[in-house]
Structure 1
Amino acid sequence: MRYTGLNDFITRSPASLAKGPIALVFAEDDVEIDTTLRHNLQLGFTSVIVFMMPDFDIAPDIEDRVIRVDANIVRDGNREDIVNMITAKALGVWIYVCYNAEYLFFPFCETRTIGEFLAFHTEERRDAMLCYAIDLYAGDLNANANAVSIEDAYIDRSGYYALGRPDPETNHPKERQLDFFGGLRWRYEEHVPPERRKIDRIALFCAKPGLELRPDHTFNDEEYNTYACPWHNNMTAAVVTFRTAKALKRNPGSAFEISTFRWHNSVPFEWHSRQLLDLGLMESGQWF
């Protein structure tokens, strides 16, 4: 199904927001849109909604399985407005937010669905989940000038760290909140604005009245921004993403200074949750 804009979608298809989990995909360009949509469908999302330019194409085999909403994400820069409008209409529903060329992985996702994953998280009285944006990049930039290659993808196996998140009102660290760093944003931080260097996202959350997404991937409810509940560690997930690599190779200020993203801590990405668990890039918590 295709809609001419967000208002058209909300007006004509309210049933699409009545049951979750829902995946919202924001296509900034036409790179790997189809693989992103297929990945979300395979994870078991009830609805996969993609916001994309009218002239972008979707593969015929998935065109009828996703909801397409015409939008210019790059020009309008209205990701938060869209998410918040949908949140207000999908109360009690779990929502996942990502961009094209990004792929969600959670513990044991090869054999368990996103619905099962979030059902357990809900039983632990959690309404949001911390996700780490783990940078993917092509191993050979001569063969893949945009730094994107599904078949030749690499990630950093180390170089990740966390700092306390200060409360501007008290200047003390916020309870159960940390700022996480690493990957390409850390290695090439001179090309990344300070406000975009963090790799933590609240990419999965349960909609409730008054909840609003902020530009830094956090919410106006501070409990939603915590990495765990007070009594034990909770599950986390990873969003492996080509987005940073694409930006660094597209930006004239960095494109010609980078001949390869590979370094001594680069490893081929295996496209399996076990690798991310072994590297400590997500946690299974009490879920076995």
Structure 2
Amino acid sequence: MRYNDLADFLNRGKQALAKGPVAMILVEDATEVDSTIQHHLQLGFKSVLVFATEGLEPTPENEDNIHLIPFDMSADNALTTAVNSIIKAAPGIWLYYCFNAEYLFYPFCESRTVGEMVAFHTEERRSSILTYAVDLYASDLNQSPDAVSLENAFLDKSGYYALAREDAANNHQPKDRQLDFYGGLRWRFEEHIPWERRKIDRIALFRAQKGLELRPDHTFNDEEYNTYSCEWHHNITAAICSFRVAKALKHNPGSTYDIETFHWHNSAKFEWNSQQLMDLGLMEPGQWF
């Protein structure tokens, strides 16, 4: 379905938020919009909300599950405005957000739906799932000058690390069960990445509740949502395999001429399956077998 704007969707599209999980795809440019939508539909999301600047709207194959919402992604606070509006309208529903040319993978996603995963996670008394934005990039920038290639996508197989997340309101003591994660292109080309955008962790899968708000740094105002696991054992984590940083580095005039290739000795061809990501330690199943 197509809507006039976000307010129109919140007025007429409430049925799309009646049952989750619901995916929100924030479209920043025309790159791989259709493949992003189809990937998430195949994972089992009940509805896919596509926030796109006018002129970038895709032509959906399944009008019943896809909801096109004209939205200016270049506006200040576009991310938090879009996501927090849906949180407020859908209390109790599991939500997910990503950008175009980003693809969610979770343990055993080839044989289990995203609904099955969040149902298990809910039984573990958890309302959020930590996800890592794993950078993808084309192997040959001469053939793919925008750094995007689904057929020849590569990722870094090492170079990831975590630091304690300090609590500025508590003498900069480490926060309980919270870490800042780094790696990928944001680490290797950090001179081109503002420091506040170098983290790769997001709480991209979560259950909406009254008063919950996403902050610009991909954390929530409820600190328990920002934890990587519960207190008694490890939980599921997931990965968002993303071309977003690679295409930004090649689009930005300040970095494009400094980068002839993203390939290095720790590059590995992306196999588009969850087992590779688990083998590399980029996500884990927790107690879900």
TM-score over 0.5 (shorter chain): yes
Q: What amino acid does structure 1 have at the position aligned with 2:131?
A: C
3-state SS of 2:74 partner? helix
User: CA contact under 8 A between 1:38 and 1:62: conserved in structure 2?
Assistant: no
Q: What amino acid does structure 1 have at the position aligned with 2:270?
A: F
Aligned residue runs from structure 1 range 35-46, under 5 A: 35-46=35-46
TM-superposed deviation, 1:60: 5.0
Answering whether residue 210 of structure 2 is matched by residue 213 of structure 1, we say no
> For 1:98-117, what per-residue CA distance to the aligned partner results, in whole angstroms no more than 9, with x for missing partners?
00000000000000000000
Distance 2:239 2:50 in 1: 20
The equivalent residue for 2:3 is 3
Q: Percent identity?
A: 60
TM-superposed deviation, 1:71: 1.1
Distance 1:57 1:82 in 2: 16
Q: What amino acid does structure 2 have at the position aligned with 1:203?
A: A
TM-superposed deviation, 1:55: 1.2
The equivalent residue for 1:107 is 107
Q: Which stretch has the larger CA shift, 58-67 or 78-87? A: 58-67
Aligned residue runs from structure 1 range 224-235, under 5 A: 224-235=225-236
CA distance change for structure 1 residues 57 and 13 in 2, over 3 Å: closer, same or farther?
closer
TM-superposed deviation, 1:75: 3.5
The equivalent residue for 2:147 is 147
Q: Report how many residues are paired.
A: 288
TM-score (norm 2): 0.98
Distance 2:187 2:13 in 1: 41
Distance 1:71 1:273 in 2: 32
Distance 1:118 1:57 in 2: 29
TM-superposed deviation, 1:78: 1.6
Distance 2:88 2:61 in 1: 31
> For 1:65-87, what per-residue CA distance to the aligned partner results, in whole angstroms no more than 9, with x for missing partners?
41100112023542201211110
Q: Which stretch has the larger CA shift, 221-230 or 76-85? A: 76-85
The equivalent residue for 1:61 is 61
3-state SS of 2:169 partner? coil
3-state SS of 1:169 partner? helix
> For 1:24-80, what per-residue CA distance to the aligned partner results, in whole angstroms no more than 9, with x for missing partners?
000000000000000010000000000112212424534554110011202354220
Distance 1:75 1:175 in 2: 34
Distance 2:271 2:32 in 1: 18
Q: What amino acid does structure 2 have at the position aligned with 1:95?
A: L
The equivalent residue for 2:175 is 174
Distance 1:271 1:212 in 2: 32
Answering whether residue 260 of structure 2 is matched by residue 262 of structure 1, we say no
The equivalent residue for 1:15 is 15
3-state SS of 2:75 partner? helix
Distance 1:168 1:274 in 2: 38
Q: Gaps (5+ residues) in structure 1?
A: none
Q: What amino acid does structure 2 have at the position aligned with 1:284?
A: P
TM-superposed deviation, 1:127: 0.2
Distance 2:165 2:135 in 1: 22
Structure 1: which 4+ aligned runs deviate by more than 2 Å? Answer: 59-65
Q: What amino acid does structure 2 have at the position aligned with 1:131?
A: T
3-state SS of 2:168 partner? coil
User: CA contact under 8 A between 2:46 and 2:65: conserved in structure 1?
Assistant: no
The equivalent residue for 1:242 is 243
Q: What amino acid does structure 2 have at the position aligned with 1:53?
A: T
Q: What amino acid does structure 2 have at the position aligned with 1:275?
A: Q
3-state SS of 2:246 partner? helix
The equivalent residue for 1:47 is 47
User: CA contact under 8 A between 2:133 and 2:242: conserved in structure 1?
Assistant: yes
Distance 2:253 2:277 in 1: 32
Distance 2:157 2:282 in 1: 9
Distance 1:49 1:76 in 2: 20
User: CA contact under 8 A between 1:212 and 1:220: conserved in structure 2?
Assistant: yes
TM-superposed deviation, 1:14: 1.0
CA distance change for structure 1 residues 60 and 83 in 2, over 3 Å: closer, same or farther?
closer
Distance 2:122 2:242 in 1: 26
RMSD: 1.0
3-state SS of 2:286 partner? coil
Answering whether residue 70 of structure 2 is matched by residue 70 of structure 1, we say yes
Distance 1:35 1:222 in 2: 33
